[in-house]
Amino acid sequence: MTKGFKGSGVEQPAALHPDEIQRNLKTARLGKKIHYFSEIDSTNNYAYKLAQTGAAEGEVVIANGQMQGKGRLGRSWVSPPDVNVYLSVILRPKFAPVHAPQLTLMSGVALAETIQAFIPRAPEIKWPNDILVGGKKLAGILTEASCEDDRILFVVVGIGVNLNFPQELMPEAIKATATSILTLTNQPVDRLDFARRLIQGLDQCYGDLEERGFPAMASRWERFFSLRGKRVRVEGPGGSVLGKAVGIAGDGALILEDEKGVSQRVIAGDVFPMDT
Ligand code: BTN
């Protein structure tokens, strides 16, 4: 069954029903239970509440559209119905809260590797978790954690990807800075197929992170890290920091090198390249 996105002429599956996502879903832990909404405020909000009331690791919340999609740093995430993927996954990792950012980076790897199969060029990861193609944002990750007594109770990993979002229908606020797979390839994406592959990718990366540890995941992440060796400015909660981006640390911090060659760690903020 297909349904067109109004005005786009694009045909895509009408819904992301759990049964259909679960058909042929090859995962060890993720997606055994999927909660679907045709419209919701935010899949992250719902997943967070579910986790607080005892939902199991691996439960997924997915929506056809969000009314109050949330982005990082208090921003909103434009979430029209019918065209994109908005999903949140509940994880209950056994490691200490200090390592929680590794889950964001692990999710970035899964997301970038999934996207790579749908577009003719490699996506770039802008630390910590923006997925860009040609400098424009294609997808984002919002990770929210609940911790107690130095242990992680749960982490919600929320992912939004612009799939069949026609450029001309994007709001002015993002039109010049965002892109979609439809824009990049001129081909509509099967959302079910994309969602299934993304859940599988997250499941595999989560297993790999547990089995092989962060260094192996960090080197996969760095393959998509477009700013390595570039001079950047990071706008963080404590002001701006300048330096050359050299990589990421074991706790997910961005490592910058200042003009004297001294390393600095950045744990939060937005990165802006200074070279063209
Ligand atoms: C960002 O780049 O600012 C992060 C965007 C994250 C958006 C996703 S869409 C699914 C999940 N639910 C939300 O409200 N936000 C995340």
User: CATH number, domain at 237?
Assistant: 2.30.30.100
Residue 159 lies in a domain: yes
Around ligand 1, the residues with Cβ closer than 6 Å are 42-44, 66, 69-72, 75, 77, 86-88, 130, 140-142, 158-160
> Quick one: 123 and 26 in the same domain?
yes
How many angstroms is it from 162 CA to the middle of ligand 1? 11
- What CATH number corresponds to the domain at position 209? 3.30.930.10
Mutate to test the pocket of ligand 1, among 35, 43, 66, 70 (most ligand atoms within 8 A of CB): 70
Q: Quick one: 108 and 216 in the same domain?
A: yes
Q: What is the pLDDT of residues 152-184, one digit of tens each?
A: 999 999 999 999 999 999 999 999 999 999 999
Same domain, 82 and 172: yes
Residues 235 and 218 in one domain: no
pLDDT at residue number 276: 52
* Distance between Cα 143 and ligand 1 center (Å): 8
Question: Where is 109: in which H helix or E strand?
Answer: helix 101-116
Residue ranges in the chain modelled with pLDDT below 50: 1-4, 6-9, 12-13
The most distant pair of C-alpha atoms in the chain lies apart, rounded to whole Å, by: 61
Partners of 90 in the β-ladder? 156
Q: Are the C-beta atoms of 249 and 255 separated by less than 8 Å?
A: yes
Per-residue pLDDT at 252:
82
Do residues 34 and 168 both lie within one domain? Answer: yes
pLDDT score of 273? 87
| Shared domain check, 212 and 241 | no
Judgement on whether residues 161 and 269 belong to the same structural domain of the protein = no
In a domain, 186, yes or no: yes
How many structural domains does the chain have?
Answer: 2
74 plus 169 within the same structural domain: yes
Asked whether residue 32 falls in the same domain as residue 125, the answer is yes
* 13 assigned to some structural domain: no
| Structure tokens that stand for 223 in this block | 């393959």
Is 167 a member of any domain?
yes
Domain that holds residue 267: 231-273
Query: How does pLDDT run across 239-253, given as a tens digit for each residue?
Result: 888 999 998 887 788
On whether the CB atoms of residues 55 and 84 are closer than 8 A, the answer is: no
Q: How far apart are CA 165 and CA 148, in angstroms?
A: 39
Question: By percentage, how much of the chain surpasses pLDDT 70?
Answer: 94
Residue 259 belongs to some domain of the structure: yes
